[in-house]
Amino acid sequence: MNDGWWHRDIVEPGKLPLLLALLAFVVTFAVTRLITRLIRAGRGPFRNISPGGLHVHHVVPGIVLMTVGGFTVIAGGRHGFGSAVAAAVFGAGAALVLDEFALVLHLSDVYWTKEGTKSVEIVLVVVALTGLLLAGFAPFGVNGLDDQELRSRGTVILFVGVRLLFCLIALVKGKLRLAVVGVLVPFVALFAAVRLARPGSPWAKHLYRRRPRARARAARRAYRHDRRWSRLRLKAIDLIGGTPTAHTGAGTDTGVDPDRRDA
């Protein structure tokens, strides 16, 4: 058993807490979305928690679980039963918090609105990045260096610095998702950095101001990309998180019965 992939790739490198945290994260998010959708539809035994008329959002217990699990797993290291349990507690808490990421961002109950879909997007990004970490990717890809390169601090610093530069360029070009994934995957960072910036991004506003052809190309490319992928992306988000209510802006009435909004 000690020679199998489970011990070699998960237990021995100390990745078991990370795996348990990811599993707890995914399961908690799925269960939470199921419950909130049942509450929204007025089905099942679930109701909002509102002691004394105060609506307690699930981000609150999420913060508690993240705090307890995070500090415990840091104290326990990457091995041992206690660290594994603490990692699962942290993952469950993180799911509850990020499921209401949009609420924290807007400081308003936008759970079932268009703005609320940001929470689902953040959750999907976290799952993808954690999966890459489990697969062996390290931040900035420094795990790809051999022993001789690791002895040279200059090489490591240069490698990390170039990768960080690519990620920053992608970010300034308005490609947030690619910039985040690029931290782990070198090709993605390079691809995002060399491509045209999205219209409205800081890069386009400052560097395309006197380049009408570049502005036009960027607008055409963004239009084709959004037309091809945005509808599919929104359908996937709605399938996972639920269809948002017609909404005109963060902080306004969503038209949803407050007793059926979320848990």
Mean pLDDT of 181-185: 82
In a domain, 119, yes or no: no
Query: Is 248 a residue whose pLDDT tops 50?
Result: no
Same domain membership, residue 155 and residue 66: no
Confidence of residue 93 (pLDDT cuts 50, 70, 90): very high
Domain boundary among 50, 73, 99: 99
Give the span between the Cα atoms of 211 and 197, in whole angstroms: 13
Same domain membership, residue 158 and residue 94: no
Same domain membership, residue 147 and residue 225: yes
What is the number of domains present in the chain? 2
* Helix pair 59-76, 81-98: axis angle to 10 deg: 150
Give the span between the Cα atoms of 245 and 98, in whole angstroms: 20
In a domain, 125, yes or no: no
For residue 232, the Cα-to-chain-centroid distance in whole angstroms is 18
In a domain, 111, yes or no: no
Domain boundary among 83, 99, 115: 99
Same domain membership, residue 143 and residue 83: no
pLDDT at res. 146: 57
In a domain, 48, yes or no: yes
Tokens of 190: 């390079």
Question: Within 13 A of 45's CA, how many CA atoms are on the CB side?
Answer: 0
pTM over 0.75: no
Which domain covers residue 214, as residue numbers? Answer: 139-254
Give the span between the Cα atoms of 178 and 163, in whole angstroms: 13
Same domain membership, residue 160 and residue 55: no
Same domain membership, residue 243 and residue 150: yes
Residue 42's CB is within 10 A of a number of other CB atoms, namely: 11
Instruction: Give pLDDT tens digits for 113-165.
Output: 888 888 998 898 899 888 888 877 666 555 555 566 556 666 667 777 888 89
In a domain, 114, yes or no: no
Residues 215-237, buried b or exposed e (16+ Cβ, 10 A)? Answer: beebbeebeeeeeeeeeeeeeeb
